[in-house]
């Protein structure tokens, strides 16, 4: 970690002396400084205190920790996570699964158990739940979700009441619109996609096999996804009818 080396040398401290001041071993500090190991959050806070850097090392820790967490996130989806934080509008078309921003912890864990080894599951669930904080912002994005009816009906019985309740609760939020595409709707797009708009641009993300997909930035191609979304939306139930349908499916569980 270059910042650590520069600060340490500027203060005339050897690694041995700094390790003594921080209460850690020199060997551990060696590995942190050479980035063989990521510093802990506690060590980052101690470094900020030692060097009076007002959060510099904690911000470095946060960036390194996020990079570590994202290593198991498909490359094509990483731009979505980045732009999602400051999104102004998000449109989802989902024919298979409840989208991550609307998943309960139990539903998310069930999805990831199919795709990932046990060692990765909890980390991925944590990333997914952290993404949902965007819905709690003072100015959350406008969200429009088109959900095929079978997505709700296919929720495993033991998960359905809680997951349906989550969808109903979110649908009451002023900035969120959830519409169901009923069974028999003449919409033949089989792959999930979403459109995420910031103040300056919009990207599309097209889902593919096993959670992998591709981010699309070309404006003409993004416009094609927008047209697909609006065509599908024309076949959807109204927001109120969709709430009633979700409620009925929940009560059938």
Distance CA(91)–CA(109), nearest Å, equals 24
Closest CA to 14 of 1, 38, 4, 39: 4
pLDDT (0 to 100) of residue 140 = 94
Q: In what order do the strands lie in the sheet with 202-207?
A: 176-181, 142-148, 89-94, 193-197, 202-207, 213-216
Whether 75-101+134-251 and 2-53 are alike in CATH topology: the answer is: no
Max mean pLDDT among 17-26, 36-45, 67-76, 113-122 falls in 17-26
State the pTM of this model. 0.72
Instruction: Tell the residue number behind the tokens 């400051």, with chain if given.
Output: 86
Distance CA(87)–CA(160), nearest Å, equals 29
Whether the Cβ atoms of residue 237 and residue 180 lie closer than 8 Å to each other: yes
Domain boundaries in the chain? 2-53, 75-101+134-251
CATH superfamily of 2-53: lambda repressor-like DNA-binding domains (1.10.260.40)
pLDDT (0 to 100) of residue 69 = 64
> What fold does the segment set 75-101+134-251 form as a domain?
Endonuclease; Chain A (3.30.870)
């Amino acid at each position: 970690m270059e910042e650590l080396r520069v600060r340490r040398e500027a203060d005339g401290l050897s690694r041995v002396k700094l390790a003594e001041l921080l209460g850690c071993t020199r060997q551990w500090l060696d590995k942190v400084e050479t980035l063989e190991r990521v510093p802990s959050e506690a060590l980052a806070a101690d470094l900020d205190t030692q060097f009076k850097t007002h959060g510099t090392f904690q911000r470095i820790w946060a960036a390194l920790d996020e990079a570590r967490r994202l290593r198991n996130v498909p490359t094509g989806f990483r731009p979505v996570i980045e732009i999602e934080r400051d999104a102004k509008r998000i449109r989802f078309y989902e024919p298979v699964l409840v989208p991550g921003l609307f998943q309960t912890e139990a539903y998310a864990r069930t999805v990831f158990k199919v795709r990932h080894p046990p060692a990765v599951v909890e980390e991925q669930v944590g990333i997914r739940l952290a993404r949902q904080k965007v819905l709690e912002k003072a100015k959350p994005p406008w969200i429009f979700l088109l959900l095929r009816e079978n997505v709700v009906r296919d929720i495993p019985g033991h998960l359905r009441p809680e997951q349906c309740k989550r969808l109903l609760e979110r649908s009451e939020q002023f900035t969120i619109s959830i519409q169901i595409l009923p069974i028999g709707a003449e919409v033949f797009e089989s792959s999930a996609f979403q459109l995420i708009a910031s103040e300056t641009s919009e990207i599309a993300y097209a889902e593919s096999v096993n959670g992998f997909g591709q981010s699309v930035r070309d404006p003409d191609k993004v416009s094609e996804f927008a047209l697909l979304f609006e065509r599908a939306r024309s076949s959807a139930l109204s927001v109120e009818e969709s709430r009633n349908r979700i409620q009925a499916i929940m009560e059938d569980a």
